[in-house]
């Protein structure tokens, strides 16, 4: 497949089937159409159901981790049933299947988390013992760090499912990525936008990534035209931090890198699941050294926390 002969068959874009995933895949398609002067019929969006979409009664940490959101899509990519896959970067495991890599990132959206309260508009206004639903260990740990009196429950499902459960009174509040709400036109549902310094985001939050086969030069040339270099550099630093920590959905980890010119600033945090213990740090240097900075920051936090910090819950 080349950009010049794509009319022979559509370029197949693999994605999950949620409204947010489809919005992200459609954004990638629109950007590729504009970059290469292609019509919409030059693309096919292949919708796939993943294990993470189907298993909703248990925390991801109990059934295989965040890779459950990508497993079936990555299998299709590896088997050449699709040409590229579109994901939320924060859903990507730190280690990808052999033969696949993240070759492009769209310009990052807002990295912040949004609080959505049913009866209270802010975290501070929640009454003692209020029930907050979230599937993210990071959000749970940060919430407990701020409000140890709250009762936290697992709330799985797509954005619309979680909002429906909130409206039905299953929980008093929930937390969602502001970027996802914006992409769905639901930003007005947020009752409080959480500052990223006090409530740091997950590695990769707010960034759409494109996964391709290693060595597929034609597809990589296609997506290179829409790669946003500053976002790409920031995500390399954050993912190196995550990988050094062997991070997964079993480990409450936050990270955020920003690029200014040729410089990168990276902040990171590791927490105990109950939020009672946290270690954070910051590194700054050349953006080209972002991955090395990410690994160095992770090692420094592990050294500060001690070898027993992740024992019993990180595996």
The two beta strands, 43-47 and 11-15, are: parallel
Question: 311 in helix, strand or coil?
Answer: coil
User: What distance in Å separates the CA atoms of residue 140 and residue 25, rounded to the nearest whole number?
Assistant: 29
Q: Identify the helix (H) or strand (E) that includes residue 143.
A: helix 137-146
CA proximity to 266, closest of 295, 243, 302, 246:
295
Report the 10 Å Cβ neighbour count for 129: 9
Residue 268, beta-bridge partner list: 255, 281
- Annotated catalytic residue: which of 91, 110, 113, 172? 91
What's the first-to-final CA gap in the chain, in angstroms?
A: 41
Q: Identify the helix (H) or strand (E) that includes residue 51.
A: helix 51-54
Does the active-site annotation cover 91? yes
The two beta strands, 84-88 and 11-15, are: parallel
What does the radius of gyration of the chain's CA atoms come to, in whole angstroms?
19
**Which residues are annotated as catalytic?**
91
């Amino acid at each position: 497949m080349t950009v010049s002969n794509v009319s022979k068959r559509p370029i197949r874009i693999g994605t999950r089937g949620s409204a947010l995933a489809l919005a992200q895949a459609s954004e990638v398609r629109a950007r590729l159409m504009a970059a290469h002067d292609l019509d919409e019929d030059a693309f096919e969006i292949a919708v796939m159901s993943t294990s993470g979409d189907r298993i909703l009664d248990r925390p991801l940490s109990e059934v295989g981790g965040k890779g459950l959101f990508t497993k079936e899509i990555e299998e299709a990519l590896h088997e050449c049933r699709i040409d590229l896959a579109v994901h939320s970067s924060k859903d990507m495991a730190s280690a990808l299947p052999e033969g696949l890599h993240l070759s492009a990132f769209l310009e990052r959206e807002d990295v912040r988390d949004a609080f959505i309260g049913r009866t209270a508009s802010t975290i501070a206004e929640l009454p003692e013992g209020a029930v907050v639903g979230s599937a993210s260990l990071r959000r749970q740990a940060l919430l407990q760090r701020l409000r140890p009196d709250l009762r936290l429950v697992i709330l799985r499902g797509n954005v619309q499912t979680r909002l429906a459960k909130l409206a039905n009174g299953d929980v008093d509040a929930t937390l969602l990525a502001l970027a996802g709400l914006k992409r769905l036109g639901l930003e007005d549902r947020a009752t409080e936008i959480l500052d990223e310094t006090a409530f740091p985001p997950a590695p990769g939050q707010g960034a759409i990534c494109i996964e391709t086969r290693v060595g597929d030069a034609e597809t990589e040339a296609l997506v290179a035209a829409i790669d946003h270099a500053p976002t790409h550099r920031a995500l390399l630093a954050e993912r190196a931090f995550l990988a050094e920590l062997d991070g997964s959905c079993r480990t409450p980890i936050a990270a955020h890198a920003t690029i200014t010119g040729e410089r990168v600033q990276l902040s990171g945090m590791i927490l105990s699941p109950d939020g009672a213990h946290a270690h954070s740090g910051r590194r700054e240097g050349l953006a080209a050294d972002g991955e090395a900075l990410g690994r160095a920051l992770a090692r420094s936090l592990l050294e500060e926390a001690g070898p027993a910090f992740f024992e019993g819950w990180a595996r």
